[in-house]
Amino acid sequence: MQFFGSKVPGRTYLLVFDRGELLLEGIQEMVRKEGIESAVITGGIGSLTELKCHAIAGTGLPATDAPMHAVGPIELSSVQGSVVGGDPHVHVVAWNYDNKETYVGHLEPGSRVCFRAEVSMQMLEGVQFDRYSDKETGMIWIREAGEEGPKEA
């Protein structure tokens, strides 16, 4: 397990998306405009007309992904994730009314808001992280910027 605590009180944001806006691209734009390097995406809800995401497709290394694409009236029931090194990593849980399927996975570009979506984000100020890839396994890790490897708990 790794853990990272804020060194000072952080700012909290509520991102509100209107009809037709792109969800992941909007989160990325806000992070860029506000200069956010480190944050946690603490929650989100809303509705979509289109969902693009991927999930893991196996347990072996290197990891393999299975893309998912859904259109229709989609209820967005959970949005969570992190911002590391200014890069949002977002997970979603959503349900498609038309085909009664549930989707769980990593949010991809092209997911479009139907009526409204709301996402909350808490800054982690005073710390900086980056993601790095283990050359042997392909696993992606998080570390405090400037460190050589993961911080063990």
Task: Tell me the pLDDT of the chain (153 aa) as tens digits.
Answer: 355 556 667 789 999 999 999 999 999 999 999 999 999 999 999 999 999 999 999 999 988 999 999 999 999 999 999 999 999 999 999 999 999 999 999 999 999 999 999 999 999 988 888 888 888 888 888 888 876 655 544
- Position 150 in a domain: no
DSSP type of residue 62: S
Domain count of the chain? 1
Q: Which of 52, 35, 44 is nearest to 17 (CA)?
A: 44
The answer to whether residues 61 and 137 touch, using CB atoms and an 8 Å cutoff, is: yes
- Position 31 in a domain: yes
- Position 64 in a domain: yes
pLDDT score recorded for residue 152: 46
Peptide bond into 62 cis (omega under 30): yes
- Position 135 in a domain: yes
CA angle 97/88/120 to nearest 5° reads 65
- Position 58 in a domain: yes
CATH number at residue 59: 3.30.1330.80
Range of the domain at 75: 12-144
